Amino acid sequence: MEQELDARRILCPLPVIRTQDAVAKLSPGDVLRVIATDPGVVYDIPAWCKVHGHKVLAIEEGREEIRLTIEVGG
């Protein structure tokens, strides 16, 4: 299953908290795509993933948005 989380126009720690809430509803192997505007997510979400056993598959930094693709771990 793939899901998308819109975390634009909110600042840390809210993108991480919303990511955590979304991941809690998913199963291992599912993919969550996070779209954010806070540049801190480039560091904060991968750090959160590492602690909680999830895998960052991609980080794409555009001019106005950052897209992170996360695979939910077990």
User: Could you give the residue numbers annotated as active site?
Assistant: 12
pLDDT (0 to 100) of residue 23? 98
- Give me the domains of the chain, ranges plus CATH numbers: 2-71 (3.30.110.40)
pLDDT (0 to 100) of residue 66? 98
pLDDT (0 to 100) of residue 42? 98
pTM of the model: 0.96
Buried b / exposed e across 31-66, counting CB within 10 Å, b at 16+?
ebbbbbebeebeebbbebbeeeebebeeeeeeeeeb
How far is 23 from 17, CA to CA, in rounded Å? 10
pLDDT digits (tens, 9 = 90+) for 26-60: 999 999 999 999 999 999 999 999 999 999 999 99
Q: Residue 28 corresponds to which amino acid? A: P
pLDDT digits (tens, 9 = 90+) for 10-19: 999 999 999 9
